[in-house]
Each structure stands twice: as structure tokens, then as C-alpha cells.
Amino acid sequence: HDGLGGILSSTKYSLGNMKQNLIITPENAAAFERTMDMLDQSIKELRRVAHNMMPETLMKLSLSEALQDYCMQVTQSGALKVSYQNFGTEELDLENSTKITVYRIIQELINNAIKHANAQTATVQLIYNENKLNITVEDDGNGFDKTLLENASGIGYKNLQSRVDFLKGTIDIQSQLNKGTSVYIEIPLS
């Protein structure tokens, strides 16, 4: 759902930008707003229905190739410029549940950079070294007060934390207002 959710969020972002440059009648403006509301409802319904389904790209590609493809799609949508780097992942052979979870973690972080941080750019790194998978996602967005995570009411952070816990990993989030956010995740593989 995160991949499709990201596409829908990017579509909503693009439509919102287009609206500012269009001259539309009041009737069309109302229809436009209904369409935006429908997109919001679609995103919510998608999250509710398809929590952990296998992304099609992961069935065809390696984890690294699927992530590179995802980052390229986000960049091409215009919602966020994402650069992807990987090191040591050529020999990486993961169980499907681990691949899905890592993919979903990165999608959630990129979606947050688009939806909440108003970031312009993000960097995703996937590094495999000494039986550990290290994930880094950094953005240049608004940043936030980390103490807000303790009382976060949305499911995004809870999903992220539960996915990292599922992989017996650790997560470190660094963020400063107006200076972006960096998320470091280390997953032991043995």
C-alpha cells in the first residue's frame, strides 16, 4: 500500500500545484475539491486494506533494484527528488518477509518526507556489511521536535517502529526544525 499510497500522495501534490495555475469555474473548483477529497479517502482506504502485501516490483527485482525503481518513480512524479545509493547489497539474499519490511520502511520514510516534511530532496542508502543491513533516509524538510514521536497519534510512526522491531533492528531519528530529518536503522542479519 505504501507504493500506491506514495503515488496517490504524489498525484494529490501535483494536482494541488496545478490548481494554482489554472483558471476554473466555481463548479469546476467544487468538482476539483471533491476529487481531492476522493484522493484522500483512497489513500486512507488503501492503508486500511493492504497493510503488508508484496509489492509487484519485489516479485520481479532484487530489494536494491526495487528500491532504486521506487526512488526513480518518486523523483519522476515531481513530489520529491530522491537519490538512491547501495553498498555491498549485490550478494544480499533476504527472506521475502524481510525484503517486504525493509521496502515498506523506506516507502514510509519517503512518504513522510513528502507528506509531512515538505522536503525537496531526500537520500536513501542501503548498506550491507558484516551481517548487518543499515538503512539511512535523510531529507531536507521542515524537521520536527522528536519529543512529539512519544505521543504520536498517527499510525505512521507506530508502523515504522513495529516494522523495525519485527526485524529486531534499532532506529535512531535525528531531526531539527528547518534542518531536515535523518533516520538510521540497523538490522542484524544472521
What mean pLDDT is predicted for residues 160-187? 95
Question: What are the beta bridge partners of residue 174?
Answer: 182
Give the predicted TM-score (pTM) of the model: 0.72
Q: Which positions ≥6 away from 4 have C-beta within 8 Å?
A: 46, 50
- Asked if residue 151 has pLDDT above 90, the reply is no
| pLDDT given for residue 133 in this prediction | 97
What pLDDT is recorded for position 132?
96
CA dist., res. 88 & res. 133, Å (int):
9
pLDDT band per the 50, 70, 90 thresholds, residue 55: confident
Residue 152 has pLDDT above 70, yes or no: no
pLDDT of 1: 47
